[in-house]
Amino acid sequence: MSDSEEFKIDLAKKMDSTDPLSHFKGRFFTPGDSIYLNGNSLGLLSKDAATTLLRVLDEWKNLGVQGWGIGENPWFYQAEKLGEKAASLVGAKPEEVVATGTTTVNLHSLVSTFYQPTEEKNKILADELNFPTDIYALQSQVKLKKLDPAKHLKLVKSDDGKFLDESKIKRMITKDVALVILPSVLFRSGQLLDIESITENAHKKEILIGWDCSHSVGVVPHKFDDWGVDFAFWCSYKYLNAGPGASAFIYVNEKHFEKDAALTGWFGDVKEKQFEMNLNFEQSRSAGGWQISSPAILGSAALEGSLDLIIQAGIENIRDKSLKMTSYLIYLIDNLLTEEPYNFKLATPRLPNQRGGHIALEHEEATTIHEQLMEYNIIHDFRPPNFLRFTPSPLSNSYEDIWTLVDSLRIIIDEKNG
Ligand SMILES: *Cc1c(COP(=O)(O)O)cnc(C)c1O
């Protein structure tokens, strides 16, 4: 190891030793002895989340059906209580957020409510870099209205397959658009869109806008109310660490509470009269009005502990550490991995306010490098054709993990060149 390399590992150790969030790492279970850098696909289990999950199992064991109504945490109110906790992460009022359904289903429910095409305004504007499930869902939503996705679903194109040009998005928000649906963070490159300014642009033209924040809630603070966002939805198994397939969330701005949900079910009923079981649906005038079925009590049990942990750490502190971590990773990439023979290319915006929580690297031999990194027990992901994604999670990773990643990438290339 040369002096400058020592400086780099020392720097990591120094940052860990002064990091106010470093003690949270011990509250997570890390699989095997791995370096886990895949929190943007599936966040890790914390002891806090395991505790609430096991508590709910006990409630089922000890209370049976009475768990809905009695005990310290009656299941009947779980979705709203989790909504209240999550509201503090996204700048919303408690009644504007509810834990319900799953991301794609929530997209369907919200878009079928908010997409009301007219003679003049009948298109949905989305983008070609969004997670494919969102686009599949939007295509079918357009078809449900007896319109043609080829004509009525406009997709903002990317020039390089990585980034979206925000001024182009704004130019494409034209009078014929009824609804805009965009992701907060692009899942490949990690580009964070300016939610506030794009929302403002859509509203100037009197167009509704909804955001898929699956790749940002839990690592980037949001201010939905201040920004006037119409609605949003997000999953909770990425940066919210609530477990595979955990209940997702919806946000509906209170200005829309009087709108009728397009897909109704008994859990959207006014809570006080839901169990009267008559045939007159009376929609709860809250985000809860968009619930359809019985909440997945077990599927959201881990969320409680996990949200408490995130709230305790503080979403602003989490963002602060996340940016320090991704900046450190970029610094190491620039210094150690971009030149011959390494040839990695940063595929994430350099400006901190344009980044979400992960870093993407491009490499011509990404497939083999991915396999070798897995042999080094560095858990990350590979997105064809040539993207490697790494998420240093502020609560469950250290700066030293980042150093180990970069050092391993370097060794992999060195060994290949023998
Ligand atoms: C993770 C993610 C999803 C996942 O959808 P599911 O319905 O939970 O499978 C959807 N959209 C985006 C943008 C995501 O990041």
Ligand 1 probe mutation, 102, 133, 191, 389, most atoms within 8 A of CB: 133
Cα 43 to ligand 1 centre (Å): 14
pLDDT in the model for residue 67: 96
> Is 276 found in the same domain as 202?
yes
> Is 39 found in the same domain as 83?
no
Summarised one tens digit per residue, pLDDT across range 203-228 is 999 999 999 999 999 999 999 999 99
Structure-block tokens of residue 92: 């919303």
SS3 state at 370: helix
> Is 182 found in the same domain as 127?
yes
Cα 238 to ligand 1 centre (Å): 9
Assign residue 322 the CATH number of its domain. Answer: 3.90.1150.10
> Is 193 found in the same domain as 113?
yes
Q: Of the candidates 312, 340, 373, which is a domain's last residue?
A: 312
183 lines ligand 1 (CB under 6 A): yes
Cα 106 to ligand 1 centre (Å): 10
Summarised one tens digit per residue, pLDDT across range 180-189 is 999 999 999 9
In angstroms, the Cα distances linking 133 to 81, 109, 138, 168, 187 are 28, 14, 9, 23, 12
What is the atom index within ligand 1 of the atom nearest the CA of 238?
A: 1
235 lines ligand 1 (CB under 6 A): yes
What is the atom index within ligand 1 of the atom nearest the CA of 106?
A: 7
Among protein residues, the one with the nearest Cα to ligand 1's atom 6 is 103
Number of separate helices (H) and strands (E) present in the chain: 13, 13
Q: Are 135 and 102 in contact (CB under 8 A)?
A: no
What one-character-per-residue DSSP string does 23-82 give?
GGGGGBPPSTT-EE-BTTTSPPPBHHHHHHHHHHHHHHHHHGGGGGTSSSS-GGGHHHHH
104 lines ligand 1 (CB under 6 A): yes
Assign residue 221 the CATH number of its domain. Answer: 3.40.640.10
| Tens of pLDDT, residue by residue, the chain (418 residues) | 556 777 788 999 999 999 999 999 999 999 999 999 999 999 999 999 999 999 999 999 999 999 999 987 899 999 999 999 999 999 999 999 999 999 999 999 999 999 999 999 999 999 999 999 999 999 999 999 999 999 999 999 999 999 999 999 999 999 999 999 999 999 999 999 999 999 999 999 999 999 999 999 999 999 999 999 999 999 999 999 999 999 999 999 999 999 999 999 999 999 988 888 889 999 999 999 999 999 999 999 999 999 999 999 999 999 999 999 999 999 999 999 999 999 999 999 999 999 999 999 999 999 999 999 999 999 999 998 899 999 999 999 999 999 999 999 999 999 988 7
Q: Of the candidates 254, 278, 312, which is a domain's last residue?
A: 312
Closest to 13 (Cα-Cα) out of 25, 4, 22, 24: 22
Give the structural domain span for 394.
Answer: 5-45+314-416
> Is 140 found in the same domain as 152?
yes
Cα 223 to ligand 1 centre (Å): 21
367 lines ligand 1 (CB under 6 A): no
Neighbours of 410 (CB within 10 A): 16
Cα 335 to ligand 1 centre (Å): 34
> Is 270 found in the same domain as 396?
no
Structure-block tokens of residue 366: 């990404």
Amino acid at 62: N
Cα 75 to ligand 1 centre (Å): 25
Total domains, the chain? 2
Cα 280 to ligand 1 centre (Å): 34
- Is 148 exposed, middle or buried (CB count within 10 Å of its CB: 0-12, 13-18, 19+)? exposed
pLDDT in the model for residue 318: 98
Q: Are 213 and 90 in contact (CB under 8 A)?
A: yes
What is the atom index within ligand 1 of the atom nearest the CA of 134?
A: 11
**Residue 414: CA count within 13 A, CB half-sphere:** 8
Q: How far apart are CA 215 and CA 235, in angstroms?
A: 8
pLDDT in the model for residue 13: 96
Q: How far apart are CA 64 and CA 379, in angstroms?
A: 39
pLDDT in the model for residue 85: 98
Q: Are 87 and 93 in contact (CB under 8 A)?
A: yes
Q: Of the candidates 279, 312, 345, which is a domain's last residue?
A: 312
Neighbours of 398 (CB within 10 A): 19
Ligand 1 probe mutation, 103, 129, 241, 358, most atoms within 8 A of CB: 103
> Is 343 found in the same domain as 241?
no
- Is 147 exposed, middle or buried (CB count within 10 Å of its CB: 0-12, 13-18, 19+)? middle
Q: How far is CA 360 from the centre of its chain?
A: 16
134 lines ligand 1 (CB under 6 A): yes
- For 170, the enclosing helix (H) or strand (E) is helix 166-172
DSSP class of residue 237 equals S
> Is 369 found in the same domain as 257?
no
Q: How far apart are CA 96 and CA 119, in angstroms?
A: 31
> Is 318 found in the same domain as 307?
no
Q: How far apart are CA 185 and CA 177, in angstroms?
A: 22
Residue keyed to tokens 């200005």? 255
SS3 state at 378: strand
> Is 331 found in the same domain as 262?
no
* Residue 40 CB partners (closer than 8 Å, separation 6+): 187, 215, 238, 239, 356, 357, 358, 389, 391
> Is 344 found in the same domain as 257?
no
Q: How far apart are CA 90 and CA 10, in angstroms?
A: 36
> Is 192 found in the same domain as 67?
yes
Ligand 1 probe mutation, 41, 212, 235, most atoms within 8 A of CB: 235
